Structure formats: structure tokens, C-alpha cells
Structure 1
């Protein structure tokens, strides 16, 4: 009987020890799984941060390159543009003088008559002012593009500065203008702007220009991919991008960028601000544009970036920015940037 009791006690002790060992093993496995998950999250965060740094570094290098090109073009084109006005006046004076000669010397010598006929003086007198005018239009256009390049590629320093939101949007649109034009069977994209009365905003202007570029470029891509000419003709629909601004409540600048494309499903909309998420084919999108835009608006400016979209009814992005940064908020933003 005593042997049986000892055997039972020994067995109970062994069972208890095995339970303890099993529990310890389970706890150890749980800790290992937790550690593995932490490492996986850390690796993912590291990859996202690395991709952002590479993307930001490329944008910074591109901005400096663009600013340098704009500077190099700016001086000679300004010289040409300024002198075209003088040249136009000189050409006008010379043509007036030729007309006076023709008025008072109606019968020039044979050699002069032959030369007049050879150079087609009447056509030249009519066409030359048109050429000078078109050259002026061309140089004005180049000057505007250079100004937009310089505005778009503004290199942001450590501190924010006051900038015009409308100038930033306009410079972005000028750079993207060639993509709005119709090509072949693809119709032109209609652009509607409704600007409100906005004061200058305290911001990193170059970074906000990148946000405008990302959102408007995406809208153009979506409209191009969904713009079957035969379907558009049947629906009598013109691919359109609308951009509006207004002064919102709480002294905030509100920018709305809309398109009348196919819209998004809830599944897509819920992921658009995630790193590396893209609906574009492989090699055509990094999946970083909107996630970096969100970071710029929300984390670096204390603003809001919202997407409103219904499948089949188009998409609207709403950007809300404080007109002036509060000192306390600025300190928090700087801390967040340093943490990143």
C-alpha cells in the first residue's frame, strides 16, 4: 500500500513537472513568436524607411538639378526675350521706311525691282512681324516654364517659409501641361480651376509641390487608362480634373483635387496611403507617392489628407493645411521628423 502511495506521489510529481515544463515551453514559444514578429515589423519599417530615404534623396537631387538647369537657362533666355522687343521695334521701323521709299520712289531701278521680286517683299513685309510676334510668344513661354521649374524645385531649408499655394499648383500644372494635351485618339484632359482667396501659407513649399505633383499625376494616369475614346463618345463624357481652393474653418487652407475617372473600391481606398501599395503594373509605380504625400501633409505640416472616392463616380483628394504653424505644434513636428 505504501509502495502504491509513493508511486502515485511520484507519478503526480512527474505529471506536475511535465505540465510546468510544457507551460514553460509554450511561454518560450510565445516569446519567440513575439520576438520574430517584432523583428519582422522592424525589418519592414527599415525597408520602408530605406525606400523613403532613397526616394527623398532622388527627389532632392532632381530638385537641385532642375534648379541648376533653370538657372542656366534663365539668363540667356531673359537676354533674348528682352532684345526681341527691341528687334520687333527695329523691324517695324525698317518696314515703315521701306514703305515710305515705295511711296516716294514708285519706279526704282531694274536691279532693285528684281531684288524686290526675288525676296517677295510684300510677303516678307507681312510675314516678318508675325515671325517676331511668334518668337516673343515662344520666349515668354520658355520664361514661364523656367519660372515654374524654379518655383517647383524650391529647396526647402530647415525652417518653413511663407509661400503661395496657387503658385505651387500652377507651377506643377505647367510642368504637367504636355500630359493634359490630346494625343492621337486620346482626348485632351479638361482642367477646371476655382481658386479662392488664400493668404500665403507657412510651409515647406518644395515638399507641397511634390504632393500636388503626385496627386495630379495619379489623376492623369487614371483618366488616361480609363479613357477609351469610343466609350467617352458614347457617354459624352470629357475626362476632367478640377482643382479648387478655399479658406476653411480654423484658419486652414483647403485644396481639393478631383477627377471624373472610375473611382476606387473600398478595398483599394483603404490601402492607398500604405507604403509600396500601387495598382499600377510592375515597373510603372513605386507605391510611395501617396504614402510620402501623406507624411508631408500630416507629419511635416500638421495637416490632413483625405481621399473621397466611390467606384464609378470619380475620386477627390482633400488637403487641409494650417495657414500658420503654432509654436508648440512646430516643436512637435520637428520632434517627429527627427524621430523618423
Structure 2
């Protein structure tokens, strides 16, 4: 299919705000698009009976019929079913976004608008639509050619089979690309949120830590002063003696250093956690960086620390570290930390499932859940092994663990995207490898290989 580059793409903007319509229309017009605009969905539906645009920007919150209802009607109409719909919204609720995607929308643009983001998303989905049209046209051409060669039945069957495989593969690629876009945006947003929280927590904690040192010295000075009073005034008035007994001065002086020490430990713990959050959520806008892999692993373990501790119904999960002397590795640290998070969280899930089965089956008595993390360098590659001693994965499922949307977890607990996205981060973004091996009843091992 040949696309006329001189023909302007038509964008229909539906928004009940005249200001938004004016801003978007002006920007899109300057960007080389032909722009149609409507202040409500009903007018837009009437317009679409006569002519159809190439893409629709649709406001979610509007009086009368909201964006979700308009989108539903667009997808029910054969004339408008294939037109890409991008929602415009100030809502940040994931439930609303999922609802829109289920209705057939291809993307979301969050208000207030960022001009560059709007342009990139529009161009992306116009390209996807053109590719889909081109693919559909090519498919029709192939079908015609196949029908013209009915005399060669064997060749016809091979071509038909090849056609179906190509269509299925391309459809899966487009679906996976869309999921990857949404997931990448979620990860980036989460990273910004975590980094912001860590920064805000750091300032007051540093203030507390700085003042604890002064409190230590003040306390020592007060103790010295009390000792002097007791030395030179060993027989204080009865009122002072009563107050000493009331506040239990001896116990107070004994407990106060312990309290101050606990405050030091707690503040240090918060600082460590804040540092780990900042390290884990490192944004990769500046490209690859030389980083210490062990810092990323330790940050992940600290964030997941609450799931490793003992609970009334679960024993503590033991973490065994076997770290080699690694060089700095050039990578996208935030993305690699996300891989560590997915793999270690999956290991914890598997261990918890096995621990739960222990309550039913006594064959797991005295079972010690363990995650073993090993790192080493072999032939200019850094290897990270993450091993658990859970129930293991069957050979059949091992062949599918990296497939998008595949999961062995019950509905609502897993999306089937974590391992798929992890493999893409390692293989595509870092030219590495991510492999899985498992033995039923013994556990599972994931190995990450990153070239130095």
C-alpha cells in the first residue's frame, strides 16, 4: 500500500472545553494535520456519519454522554470501529484507564497536555493504523494470488499456512508493543513518585539525625550536673526526694541512653531505606551508566524486606548472598532494578505458595525457605543467579514463562507481564540473556547475563 505523504492526516478533537479545543487545534494545525473539532459527543457522532477522520482525541469527562459512552458507540459502528481513539483525561485512576482500553481506546493523554507527548502519541498510532491497513491490503493480495494458483494444491496449503502465521505474529507484536508502552509509562511514573518520596523523607530525617548528636551531648552534660549535685548535696529536701521517687530517676537515667540509641538505629534505618528507594528508582533518561550491580540487588532486597521477615503463618525467608568482585557494568540501572524486583518477588511468591502447602501436607516439615543470589564474571559477562528452593516449574511451563500474559498464578494475582518485560529489558536493551531452569520439588533458577 502506497501512502500519499502530501495528504494531511485528519484529527477529530472532542472536548467540552473551548480553551482545550483552541489550544489543541492550533498546535495540531501547526504540526501539519487537518483538524476537526466538536464540543460534545453527539455532534461528533452526527459528523462521523458523513465523513471519518484518521484519529480521534476524546475527552473522558463531558456533560451528557461521557467519553466512555462515545467510545463504546464508535466501536459498535462499522464506519468508525477501526479509527484509533486516544482518551484525554486528568484522571489518574488505573481502573478508569483499564475501562477505556477495554472499550477499544488505544492510549491515554494526561491533562495538562505536553505538546511533544501529544504529537508523539498521535504519530505513533497513525503509523500503527497505516501499518495495519497496509498489512490488511497485503493479506488480501496474497489471498487473491493463492486463489489464482488453485492448480498447485500443495503450494496453496503452504502459502495459506504462512499467511495465517504472519497475521497472528503481527497481531501479537502490535498487542505486545501496546502493552510495553503502557507498562513503560507506569514504571517511569512509579520511579518518579518513589524518587520524590525518598527526597522528601530524606530532609526531615537528616534534621533528626543531626540533632540526635546534640541530644546525646546535652544528656551527658545533664548527667554530669546531676552527679555533681548528688556529690555536694547528698541530702536534698523532701520535695526533691519525692520527685526523684515519682519519676523513678535511676530507671530513667538507665533507660534514656537505650531510647536514644534506638532513635539512632531507627533514623539510620530510614536513611538506608530512603537511599535504597532513590537507587532503585533511578531514571534512565540520561542513557546507560556505569553502576554497581550489587547496590541495585541490595536496594531491591531492602524494599522487599517486609516480605522476607517471619510472620505468624510463615517462617522468615533466608537470603544467601554469594557476591563476586564485579566491575562496574554499563546498563540502564532503573530498568535492571525492575528485573531484579520481578525475579525476587516471583521467588518470594513461589516460596509462600510452598510454605502454604506445608500447612496441609506434613512432607514439608522443617522446611527453610531460601533465596540464593550469586554473582560472578565469566568471559566478559556478568552473571546474576537468583535461585529459590520452592516447588519448581514443570518442563511444559518452563517453555512459556517469558511469553506475554502467561502466568500460573490465580486470577487477580498476576498479569503475566513481569517476566516478559524482564526478558525484553535484558535481551533488547542490554544485549544480554535471561534464562530459566527448574526441577519439580527442588526449586527454580533464573540467570541474567549482561556483557561488560
- Report the TM range for the smaller structure's normalisation: 0.7 to 0.9
Aligned equivalent of 2:200: 72
- CA RMSD for the aligned pairs? 2.3
Aligned equivalent of 1:301: 430
Offset of residue 150 of structure 1: 0.1
Check if 1:269 corresponds to 2:401.
Answer: no
Aligned equivalent of 1:214: 342
Of 124-133 and 232-241, deviating more is 232-241
Of 179-188 and 86-95, deviating more is 86-95
Q: Structure 1 regions of 5+ residues with no counterpart?
A: 1-18, 324-340
Q: Do 1:92 and 1:129's aligned partners in 2 also have CA atoms closer than 8 Å? A: no
Aligned equivalent of 1:94: 222
**How many Å separate the matches in 2 of 1:41 and 1:234?**
43
Residues 51-86 of structure 1 show CA distances to partners (whole Å, capped at 9, x for unaligned) of: 111111111100000001111111111111121122
Alignment of 1:175-194 (within 5 A): 175-194=303-322
Q: Which has the higher helix share?
A: 1
Offset of residue 39 of structure 1: 3.3
Aligned equivalent of 1:242: 372
Q: Do 1:239 and 1:260's aligned partners in 2 also have CA atoms closer than 8 Å? A: yes
Q: Do 2:150 and 2:156's aligned partners in 1 also have CA atoms closer than 8 Å? A: no
**How many Å separate the matches in 2 of 1:167 and 1:280?**
30
Aligned equivalent of 1:129: 257
Give the alignment partner of residue 232 of structure 2, picking from 104, 113, 122: 104
Higher normalized contact order (CA 8 Å, seq sep 6+, divided by chain length) = 1
Q: Do 2:389 and 2:444's aligned partners in 1 also have CA atoms closer than 8 Å? A: yes
**How many Å separate the matches in 2 of 1:263 and 1:75?**
44
Q: Do 1:232 and 1:238's aligned partners in 2 also have CA atoms closer than 8 Å? A: no
**How many Å separate the matches in 2 of 1:278 and 1:211?**
17
Residues 17-41 of structure 1 show CA distances to partners (whole Å, capped at 9, x for unaligned) of: xx98954999889867755553333
Aligned equivalent of 2:174: 46
Residues 259-292 of structure 1 show CA distances to partners (whole Å, capped at 9, x for unaligned) of: 0011111101010011111101111111111111
1:266/1:25 CA distance change after superposition, 3 Å: closer
Q: Do 2:201 and 2:274's aligned partners in 1 also have CA atoms closer than 8 Å? A: yes
Check if 1:291 corresponds to 2:420.
Answer: yes
Q: Do 2:149 and 2:156's aligned partners in 1 also have CA atoms closer than 8 Å? A: no
**How many Å separate the matches in 2 of 1:28 and 1:244?**
53
Aligned equivalent of 1:225: 353
Aligned equivalent of 1:12: none
Of 225-234 and 135-144, deviating more is 225-234
**How many Å separate the matches in 1 of 2:284 and 2:189?**
13
Q: Structure 2 regions of 5+ residues with no counterpart?
A: 1-146
**How many Å separate the matches in 1 of 2:203 and 2:384?**
34
Residues 301-324 of structure 1 show CA distances to partners (whole Å, capped at 9, x for unaligned) of: 11111112111111111111112x
| TM-score of the aligned structures, taking structure 2 as reference length | 0.64
Secondary structure of the corresponding residue to residue 430 of structure 2: coil
1:229/1:92 CA distance change after superposition, 3 Å: farther
| Number of positions where the alignment pairs a residue of Structure 1 with one of Structure 2 | 304
